[in-house]
Chains A and B, each alone.
Chain A
Amino acid sequence: MIYLDNSATTQPRKEVLETFVKVNEQFYANPASIHRMGNQAEDLLEGARTQIRQILNMDQVVFTSGGTESNNLALIGAAKAYRHRGKHIITAVTEHPAVLNPLAVLEEQGFEITRLPVDETGAISLNELNNALRSDTILVSLMHVNNEIGTVHPIADVKKLLAGTRTLLHVDAVQSVGKLELPLGAMPDLLTVSGHKIHGLKGSGILAFNQVELQPVLYGGGQEFGLRSGTVAVPQAVAFAKALRLAEPRMEFADWNRELRAFFAGFTGVKIISPETAASHILAVAVKGMKGEVLVSGLQQESVIVSTSSACSSKSKETSHVIEAVGVPRGYKEGVIRISFGAFTQAGDIAALKTAFERVYRLIK
């Protein structure tokens, strides 16, 4: 199988799996235990935390079960902690459900949520963001790279815009870490990263932050500075640190992206949905009058794995909110597929996709 669905999840690296197994074998003690084995597990856990902090250039790191939990902790945790300061939060309409849905819950609880519109490239307007800012805006939450079409939000510019205000910036970087360079000099106040999107393990993620007050979402034994109760999954945490260290943007992504854009431009009934400025590891295209599911299963028969716009929404009947928001024309809306590269993608995979697509296109058109 040729796996081109790396934005849904990635294959764990061998080194990461080895670490995971070894830590489970040798350092399985509870890091909160006071005996020597516990101390060793704690030292290892703290080593992992330090490594992640240094790579991301952030002050603090809390281990979670993944991107969704990190986003919940960032949004609900900051909202609870700063509610005395204000109850206004800004986000964009194209965010992941793991951001939009916690915000919807906060809205029910009396917070006011501004959801910025996007243009046909999926971009927000900095001007509109500026106009939406108020003295009671406690938080702006934007994803770095859109998971469905690859639009890159200008995090460094937003950070600059917020400089001098007390508004915090949360960035969901689940789709960008390891794929493009982070603005290390202009990191946000809160940062979400998921393990399984960087060739690590499912069930692992982090929320990194700089001098931010947070309230927990989970309550219990007070682990992770009281922010994330529950026995810390040391093997997952260490595997995450390793996956992050090995994660590195690849130059080939841009070449392959160009190659595929040129290829799809040759079909009259195919529309490229991802804007030119999008991150190069995600390419969404749509075929006129065809259903995305049919394309996915057609390509699968040719041994190529891609997805409809996103794995989360691929099983629901409705068109994805991102596809709606960027105004994909009727006729194309339902036929969106997403091709996404990862660390193990090879040039041959791109060629195979091209051959497979040609066949499927001819067959069902």
Chain B
Amino acid sequence: MKTKQVLVRYGELSTKGKNRSSFIGRLRDNVRQMFADLKTVRVKAERDRMFILADDEREMEQVLERLPNVFGIQSFSPVTEAELNFEAMKRAAIAVVSKLDRDNKSFKVSVKRPFKEFSHEKPEITQEIGSHVLRSFPELSVQMKHPDIELKVEIREEAAYMMAEVIEGAGGLPVGAGGKALLMLSGGIDSPVAGYHMLKRGVRLELIHFFSPPYTNDRAKEKVYDLAEKLSQFGSSVTLHIIPFTKLQQEVHKQVPDNITMTSTRRMMMRVADLVLAETKSQAIITGESLGQVASQTLESLHAINAVTNTPVLRPLIAIDKLDIIETAQRIGTYDISIRPYEDCCTIFTPANPKTKPKLEKVEFYENFVSFDELIQEAADQRETIKFPRVKEAKFENLL
């Protein structure tokens, strides 16, 4: 009597018609990648459902722990295996039902019997197991239509399989099914949440971060590493591009008046992002901008910033309240990382009175005195690229 497999039900991809098999293939690959470090884990994708098998108990625990994060899964159920005799099956049934909340719940047993040679007929199996469970848990009542708990029993040649628990999955689409986009990751609360929403819609992420040493330090970079690591836990790896941004930022500071440096800096970021986008074959830029949050996030400001590119700029948080964003950040585990108090390149050089309604013509006028092209190209060329999840290195091993 062991849990050696998990049955996975697909999310909305079930409705995707012709693309179905490519969606399923994508999900299967993502699941495989997520469990690549677990040696006994195997994945079998069928048309209507997927099975994840693990021989090792600890590895099965890991599977159950990580699975709720994988997009494209509607729900999943641990399957308990029992020998083909009533004794063993009853014990397994009790073990399965005992894990569930049973207070005032209705219950039924449904049996499938593809192994026709099994010496008992369906009604007899149902009766035996059902009455045994009801005797053991008197708080349950029988209900044939839409019971709260349905104990499913499948009699196969090698064993009897049972399940009742239905664990909610992350929903959404398998990452990668929706193409690839470049997320501008600042280190704040919003951008990881924006990334999360896009991941959920099946978009694979490249991450871009602007790093301005000595104004920002190693800890700020590490914070971004940790965020990238989190964003790589939803069924697909991510690549982080760290852009050396100091020179460009200093040049902007020199050329344009203080109150529009912020707008201009962001325009530079967009232009660098556009170069990385082309190289990584991404199809859109994602930002965590939310209307009205700060000076740079007014419509006038977004207009002036957006003017440097024709690339679609996706802003999944544009109309989301800050409190809701924080709630999501806490739920997905990025909040505690984001609130670490290190300067990022947006918080330094912040003018006292940034224009909330910068005029595009003015910004363009000031930027016109020098060509930023070279610095932009240099920043993109000299970027540092790191893939996540990272292989964990044993630091300080001999000391600890």
Residue positions of A touching B, CB distance < 8 A: 19, 22-23, 34-36, 39, 43-44, 47-48, 51, 238, 241-242, 245
Contacts and interface: CB of A to CB of B under 8 A. Distances in A.
10 contacts: A19-B399, A35-B217, A36-B218, A39-B219, A43-B396, A44-B395, A47-B395, A241-B400, A242-B400, A245-B400
Nearest to A43: B395
B400 A51 contact: yes
Interface in B345-400: 395-396, 399-400
A36 to B, nearest CB: 6
B218 A47 contact: no
Given A44-B396, A44-B399, 20 more contacts: A19-B399, A19-B400, A23-B399, A34-B217, A34-B219, A35-B217, A36-B218, A39-B218, A43-B395, A43-B396, A44-B395, A47-B396, A47-B400, A48-B400, A51-B400, A238-B396, A238-B399, A238-B400, A241-B400, A242-B399
Nearest to A15: B398
A242 B396 CA distance: 11
A238 B399 CA distance: 7
B193 to A, nearest CB: 26
Interface SS, A side: helix
Interface residues of B, number: 7
A230 B219 CA distance: 22
A312 B399 CA distance: 32
Contacts of B217: 34-35
Nearest to B219: A39
A157 to B, nearest CB: 24
Contacts of A39: 218-219
Contacts of B219: 34, 39
Interface of B: 217-219, 395-396, 399-400
Contacts of B396: 43-44, 47, 238
Nearest to A19: B399
Nearest to B394: A47
A43 B399 CA distance: 12
A44 B217 CA distance: 18
A155 B3 CA distance: 32
Contacts of A22: 399
Contacts of A245: 400
A22 B217 CA distance: 26
A44 B218 CA distance: 15
Q: Which of A23, A47, A48, A241 has the most CB of B within 10 A?
A: A47
Contacts of A23: 399
A60 B179 CA distance: 42
Contacts of B218: 36, 39
A34 B214 CA distance: 12
Nearest to B397: A47
B340 to A, nearest CB: 12
Contacts of B400: 19, 47-48, 51, 238, 241-242, 245
Contacts of A48: 400
B115 to A, nearest CB: 39
Contacts of B395: 43-44, 47
A48 B400 CA distance: 7
Nearest to A38: B219
A253 to B, nearest CB: 26
A63 to B, nearest CB: 14
A36 B217 CA distance: 8
Contacts of A35: 217
A19 B398 CA distance: 8
Nearest to B222: A39
Sorted from nearest, which 3 A-B pairs have the closest CB atoms? A19-B399, A241-B400, A47-B396
A350 to B, nearest CB: 33
A43 B219 CA distance: 11
A7 B395 CA distance: 33
Contacts of A44: 395-396, 399
A48 B396 CA distance: 9
A36 B396 CA distance: 16
A39 B225 CA distance: 15
Nearest to A50: B400
A44 B397 CA distance: 10
A98 to B, nearest CB: 27
A46 to B, nearest CB: 10
Q: Which of B217, B218, B395, B399 has the most CB of A within 10 A?
A: B399
A23 B395 CA distance: 13
B400 to A, nearest CB: 5
A258 B355 CA distance: 83
Q: Which of B218, B395, B396 has the most CB of A within 10 A?
A: B396
A211 B219 CA distance: 27
B10 to A, nearest CB: 36
Nearest to A239: B399
A295 to B, nearest CB: 41
A241 B397 CA distance: 12
A217 to B, nearest CB: 26
A44 B398 CA distance: 11
B275 to A, nearest CB: 30
Contacts of A19: 399-400
A39 B222 CA distance: 11
A36 B399 CA distance: 19
A120 B399 CA distance: 45
A236 to B, nearest CB: 13
